[in-house]
A = this chain, B = another copy of it.
């Protein structure tokens, strides 16, 4: 893509009311637009980052047998009354709306109930289980405060998977498979080393702990205690002596840190399926409860975490597999032909490029390259004898390369 064909621009300042670093940077670089607190639109560069994160998550969910579907935002209240999650006194962050005839509707807060309601049509026998379904879409939470940019949205993108098993053993296997897939996802997103499986409160339906995936961050809302050797953590909320012992942890090796919850996995027992009257018949034709799990990953929150974590004082720094394009091509002077040749050669190899073909001073282009944060910067200029100047966004060193050497470097 050429800069002259991209309608967004960079700017010096984010809106005064935007206090979160992730949103400040993403707004300044033209990736997102603030609609209101906690509600952001994705502009072309931002949407590409979102799609790249979604694709990584999708691949790992498919790899463990997840079947993708898309539930609806508008929700009928009857299924939520059955699980006692409709009343605002019970769940205090619904957005609600009404049909023209006055019937109350919910605006997609989460999707356990409607997913179980779909199962009703398809699960009756032990032969129909186990199964896992997932979706990637918008969730709506009526948060009182939303000042953390993409880290806490009122409207945000989430991947939510739901598993349904016949036995506790079967459930445990699917659950641990999902945890394993989560580790792979954070690894691929470049957050593997600073993201901890963290024991946390399991919610009101189970005695068991849930697992949160906490990425270490100074701006995180959660306090966790990390066991570095075991690569595991415990949320402060459940850190009692009893729980520490139950989890086989040692108080003396735990280090306090702040974290952002970038995913969670819950044991649902049979809470939702029983409440919605969805069971299966076992081999002896006896009615049995279905054992559920649910598995969330905040897609837009991850974009915020990645933006904030890798950023330096010059701007954003995207990992190669998430960047909206891999290469920022700075054209200095009139040498359109050479820039076009390189642009075509990179595109032909499937290497995505943002070509700064604007009639601007080199300094403006270099500053934009840094703020937008594509991983690889290439300079084309008459002064380089047909070679190009290459610089990684994470290094201050330049090198002169032939086009062949450049292609070889970026193809690895």
Q: Contact residues of A with B, CB < 8 Å?
A: 5-9, 11, 30, 33, 35-36, 39-44, 46-47, 50, 65, 67-76, 93, 95-101, 105, 107, 114, 117-119, 121-123, 128, 131, 133, 138, 140, 142-144, 154-155
Q: Decide: B69 and A100 in contact? CB cutoff 8 A.
A: no
Q: Decide: B72 and A114 in contact? CB cutoff 8 A.
A: no
Q: Decide: A144 and B41 in contact? CB cutoff 8 A.
A: no
In the complex, the count of this chain's copies comes to 2
Whole-angstrom distance between the Cβ of A34 and the nearest chain B Cβ: 10
A7 to B164, CA, bound (A): 11
Whole-angstrom distance between the Cβ of A220 and the nearest chain B Cβ: 23
A50 to B69, CA, bound (A): 11
Whole-angstrom distance between the Cβ of A157 and the nearest chain B Cβ: 9
A-B contact pairs, 29 of them (CB 8 A): A5-B67, A7-B67, A7-B119, A7-B122, A7-B123, A7-B128, A7-B131, A9-B122, A11-B121, A33-B118, A36-B105, A40-B72, A41-B69, A41-B71, A42-B69, A43-B118, A44-B68, A46-B69, A47-B70, A50-B70, A72-B155, A73-B155, A74-B154, A74-B155, A95-B105, A97-B97, A99-B154, A100-B143, A101-B144
- Residue of B47, B105, B122, B142 touching A69 (CB-CB under 8 A): B47
- Residue of B69, B70, B76, B93 touching A36 (CB-CB under 8 A): B76
Whole-angstrom distance between the Cβ of A267 and the nearest chain B Cβ: 21
Of all chain B residues, the one with the shortest Cβ separation from A11 is B121
A93 to B143, CA, bound (A): 26
Q: A7-B131, A33-B117 are in contact. List 6 more A-B contacts (CB 8 A).
A: A40-B72, A43-B118, A44-B68, A73-B73, A74-B140, A100-B143
Complex interface: chain B residues within 8 A of A122 (CB): 7-9, 30
Whole-angstrom distance between the Cβ of A153 and the nearest chain B Cβ: 10
Of all chain B residues, the one with the shortest Cβ separation from A164 is B7
Complex interface: chain B residues within 8 A of A107 (CB): 97, 107
Complex interface: chain B residues within 8 A of A100 (CB): 93, 142-144
Q: Decide: A44 and B73 in contact? CB cutoff 8 A.
A: no
A8 to B143, CA, bound (A): 35
Complex interface: chain B residues within 8 A of A39 (CB): 72, 74
**A142 touching B99 in the complex, CB below 8 Å, given contacts A35-B76, A42-B70:** yes
Of all chain B residues, the one with the shortest Cβ separation from A1 is B67
Q: Decide: A5 and B75 in contact? CB cutoff 8 A.
A: no
Whole-angstrom distance between the Cβ of A10 and the nearest chain B Cβ: 10
Q: Decide: B47 and A7 in contact? CB cutoff 8 A.
A: no
Complex interface: chain B residues within 8 A of A117 (CB): 33
A36 to B122, CA, bound (A): 18
- Residue of B75, B101, B123, B131 touching A35 (CB-CB under 8 A): B75
Of all chain B residues, the one with the shortest Cβ separation from A138 is B73
Whole-angstrom distance between the Cβ of A203 and the nearest chain B Cβ: 22
Complex interface: chain B residues within 8 A of A121 (CB): 11, 33
**A72 touching B41 in the complex, CB below 8 Å, given contacts A35-B114, A67-B7:** yes
Complex interface: chain B residues within 8 A of A73 (CB): 73, 138, 140, 155
Whole-angstrom distance between the Cβ of A101 and the nearest chain B Cβ: 8
Whole-angstrom distance between the Cβ of A55 and the nearest chain B Cβ: 13
Whole-angstrom distance between the Cβ of A11 and the nearest chain B Cβ: 8
Complex interface: chain B residues within 8 A of A50 (CB): 70
A298 to B355, CA, bound (A): 34
Of all chain B residues, the one with the shortest Cβ separation from A131 is B7
A46 to B114, CA, bound (A): 17
A46 to B97, CA, bound (A): 27
Of all chain B residues, the one with the shortest Cβ separation from A92 is B100
Of all chain B residues, the one with the shortest Cβ separation from A106 is B97
Whole-angstrom distance between the Cβ of A384 and the nearest chain B Cβ: 28
Complex interface: chain B residues within 8 A of A6 (CB): 67
